[in-house]
Chain A
Amino acid sequence: MRSIVAKGAPARPWLGATIASGGKVPAAEIVICSYCDTVHRRAEVPGRRTMRCVTCDSPLYRGNGDLSAMLAVTVTAVIAFIVANALPLLTLTSGSSQTRATLWRAIMASYDTDLPFVAIALTLTLIVAPAVELCLLLWVLVPLCLRTRPFAFLGTMGLLRTLRPWRMMEVFFLGVIVAVVKLSALATALPGWGMFGVAVMTFALAALSSFDQGALWRRAEQVAP
């Protein structure tokens, strides 16, 4: 075993250490930066810090690989998702008539008034995509937390990876706020409890992407070699 250089490690402990060329290190201890291809040796992460690449400063991996915490956040997101869909997003008052607009009623209304394209696009991005993603996460996390291998693990992880870049909850959240302001020209619009659900879900999904996804793979390898 040749020497292992830990460049920058003492001065900036959150940086991954770089292995010297030819140094024999088990593959599980190597991390390669996906932005610049620099090879690092995996080091202990102090706290929940993000380890960054010594060459290009991109995030390499995170210390937060606690699967039960990840499950807890997922359950929070599921509850928030139900609240966001069941309770009115906003209340419209125009003259004497008052309308409580839940997401689903709004979608159905646009479907009935010959705007099926809008209805389908909203259903897919705001109801189907988050519901599928949360179900897949539960599908993977519950068995892993119980230390068994999830059924169809590879396919599920592949689907989750495909869906992740298209997650748009936070954009939708801002979209509702802009819509409320624009609506105030036409009627009196007030945000409802459904908005609260959307807000919590936005933060829960953001928290989910701050977990170390590699922890899922490592746990799956432990429970079924």
Chain B
Amino acid sequence: MIRGVDVRLAACESCELVLNMRDVEPDASAVCPRCHAPVRFRKRNARTQVIALLVAALALYFPANVLTIMYTDQFPERRADTILSGVKFLWERGSWELAVIVFAASILVPILKLGALGFLVVSATRRSAWRPRARTKLYRALEVIGHWSMLDVFVVALLTAVVQLGQFARVAPGPAVLPFAGVVILTMLASASFDARAIWDRGMRE
């Protein structure tokens, strides 16, 4: 297999135009003649950025799960739900399918994303040769599922807004909403910063 960096070819990230980078240093960048975006062989400072974003996301993961995400107030009952107790509530109302989806999207996916991205960064840094194809697939899966974790934020915002229309109850967002949205956005940024080509830079099999 021939790799772009070996034959000094690189594709523009924004318009996919392939550039001949014969005179460009490996760490330097050229300007795309078609869309004027900078073109480089690898994303700059990818590893540092991913690690920084992962640490920030991990710090927010705990308040996001421990604090209340939604207050419900319907006389005479008053509830304060965390993400987990919201899943329990859905389960008890008999829609176990949705309970499973919300549990996966809100609790499982963020922590799996943090773990998987951490694993990808560490294995790429150590130039591991272990199943690069599978690791690339894992990375693509992370890109696809990333934004599904926003589900709970939408649900809380929608419930809050819709319930204001009727006069039968009150729903208000709790303090966990912001850290939770923060976790989702930071992990999305982290997976966008990762450069999958690092998986192949030494782990390449002929």
Report whether chain A binds chain B: yes
Which A residues are closer than 8 A to B by beta carbons?
18-22, 27-28, 30-32, 34-39, 54-58, 61, 89-90, 92, 94-95, 97, 99, 101, 105-107, 109-110, 112-113, 115, 117-119, 121-122, 154, 157-158, 161, 165-168, 171-172, 174-179, 181-187, 213-214, 217, 221
Q: How far is the CB of A35 from chain B (nearest CB, A)?
A: 4
Chain A residues, Cβ within 8 Å of B2: 18-21, 38-39
Q: Which single member of B1, B37, B89, B90 contacts A55 (CB below 8 Å)?
A: B1
Most chain B beta-carbon neighbours within 10 Å: one of A58, A106, A186: A186
Chain B residues 129 to 154 lying within 8 A of chain A, measured CB to CB, are 132-133, 136-137, 139-140, 147-148, 150-151, 154
B163 touches A35 (CB 8 A): no
Chain B residues, Cβ within 8 Å of A217: 15-17, 34-35
A214 touches B151 (CB 8 A): no
Bound: A15/B18 CA distance, A = 19
Chain A residues, Cβ within 8 Å of B93: 181-182, 184-185
A182 touches B1 (CB 8 A): no
For B35, the closest partner residue in chain A by CB is A154
Bound: A90/B147 CA distance, A = 24
Chain B residues 142 to 181 lying within 8 A of chain A, measured CB to CB, are 147-148, 150-151, 154-155, 157-169, 172-173
Bound: A92/B169 CA distance, A = 12
B18 touches A27 (CB 8 A): yes
Q: How far is the CB of A149 from chain B (nearest CB, A)?
A: 13
Chain A residues, Cβ within 8 Å of B107: none
Chain B residues 29 to 57 lying within 8 A of chain A, measured CB to CB, are 34-37
A182 touches B155 (CB 8 A): yes
Which B residues are closer than 8 A to A by beta carbons?
1-7, 9-11, 13-20, 34-37, 72, 74, 86, 89-90, 93, 95, 98, 101-102, 132-133, 136-137, 139-140, 147-148, 150-151, 154-155, 157-169, 172-173, 188, 192, 196-197, 199-200
Known: A38-B3, A106-B164, A186-B72. A161 touches B14 (CB 8 A): yes
Bound: A194/B159 CA distance, A = 16
B90 touches A36 (CB 8 A): no
Q: How far is the CB of A59 from chain B (nearest CB, A)?
A: 9
Q: Which single member of A31, A57, A119, A171 contacts B151 (CB below 8 Å)?
A: A171
Chain A residues, Cβ within 8 Å of B35: 154, 157-158, 217
A36 touches B196 (CB 8 A): yes
Bound: A28/B136 CA distance, A = 26
A122 touches B161 (CB 8 A): yes
Q: How far is the CB of B123 from chain A (nearest CB, A)?
A: 15
Ordered by A's residue number, 19 sampled pairs between the chains whose C-beta atoms are within 8 Å are A28-B18, A31-B16, A32-B4, A34-B197, A55-B1, A56-B133, A57-B133, A61-B16, A89-B162, A92-B166, A121-B157, A154-B35, A154-B36, A158-B35, A171-B154, A175-B158, A183-B159, A186-B74, A186-B169
